[in-house]
Copies of this chain bind each other. A is one copy, B any other.
Amino acid sequence: MAAVPSSFLGTLFVVSADPSVISFAGGLPSSAILDAAGIAGAAADVLADAGPAALQYSTTDGYLPLREFIADRYRRRVGLDVTAANVQIVNGSQQCLDLIAKCLVDPGDAVAIEAPGYLGAIEAFSLYEPRLSAVPVDGAGPDLAALERVVARDRPKFFYAIPNAQNPSGLTYPDGARRAVAELLDGSETLLYEDDAFGELFFDGRPRRPIGADLPGRAVLSGSFSKVLAPGMRCGWLVAPGEVLAQFNVAKQAADLHSNHFCQLVLHRWLTTHDLDEQCRRVAGVYHENCRALGDALDERCPELEHTEPEGGMFLLARLPTGVSSLALFDEGVRQGVAVMPGPPFFLEGGDDVIRLNFSNTDPEKCAEGIARLSRAIANLA
């Protein structure tokens, strides 16, 4: 990632524990939407029914009924032609970043990634020493000319993309851009790696068609229960063609034998005794309110900031006035009692002209006050 002063992470850590600082810098789901009572009931039922078997070692691929649930939901919601045989359970979709890179990337291999892109992906991939190529994204989707150039020139092993309510930008690829990406990658040597962490959190509730649906055999898709049910249980999945999954399964077994079996049973119990659609609507409803309040506050207090208009997810991206550095704004913001996430960690280079704002953990009242503080911080720097 682009260079960040080492003091930044330390300050971020300190301010995240300081209640006097209103934070838009975080990335947690709202605790208010986590169903502790429902999970408690599911855990009790699982242990009463399965007993010690719920605590035993299990298979590397994961709990079959959970994998069936995930495959069924993809078939039903977005018409993806998959079965449980295409699904591998992992420790949150972060583990897919590590293991896909482990399977596919040798030092010096090219990997294409969005700019801005997900920080955790840049970190995970970097440990395998790839050459990372940036593909700019905006409201129209990825820069197709740039993607075409990167694919032809660098022959990346895969293009890593978050087409649904991206972290950090909140951008969603329009349908036309999805088809164009599929056409562009079709017949190339580049696999599509589609990270769908936020696809259940569209404010309009409408599922978006995965790009991989039009790239049979040439796309992998990751997802997670972290954003809608229980991030601390670290339960996500990879959906992939058989030959990719076979290799991935070997890496998963070497990495940690299998994912938490007890929590797979608990999540499956919750999913079969509760309404996941209703839960997603509830979460998306809260985030939609928060997002609207954040956008309104920005438009009112900081009209000089151009910002994305998310259709879902937990983040938006704002472009700063010329001459205002996001890293300087982070420091000045903390002095004013507000924390934002500076841009550089989301870029391979540059990015100091944007900030990421989280809205999953802001309520409309705190939000207005936070953006008023941000406005003062910007005025002090301009």
Contacts and interface: CB of A to CB of B under 8 A. Distances in A.
Interface string A27-40: 01101101111011
Given A57-B232, A230-B262, A231-B56, A256 B36 contact: no
A174 to B, nearest CB: 30
Contacts of A31: 51-53, 56
A300 to B, nearest CB: 31
Contacts of A258: 234
Contacts of A34: 52, 55-56
Contacts of A123: 253-254
A187 B148 CA distance: 54
Contact of A94 (B48, B53, B92, B256): B256
Interface string A234-265: 10000000000000001101111111111100
B52 A48 contact: no
Interface stretch (A95-103, A153-161, A305-313): A95-103
A43 interface: yes
Interface string A165-184: 00000000000000000000
A260 B231 contact: no
A97 B95 CA distance: 16
Contact of A52 (B32, B254, B263): B32
Contacts of A126: 254
B127 A102 contact: yes
Contacts of A55: 34, 36, 39, 229-233
Interface footprint category on A = 35 or more
B98 A232 contact: no
Contacts of A257: 92, 94, 120, 234
A308 to B, nearest CB: 24
B255 A57 contact: no
Given A102-B127, A262-B232, A263-B262, A256 B91 contact: yes
Interface of A: 28-29, 31-32, 34-37, 39-40, 43-44, 47-48, 50-58, 90-92, 94-95, 97-98, 102, 120, 123-124, 126-127, 226, 229-234, 250-251, 253-263
10 contacts: A35-B52, A36-B54, A37-B47, A55-B229, A55-B230, A56-B232, A92-B256, A95-B256, A98-B254, A260-B263
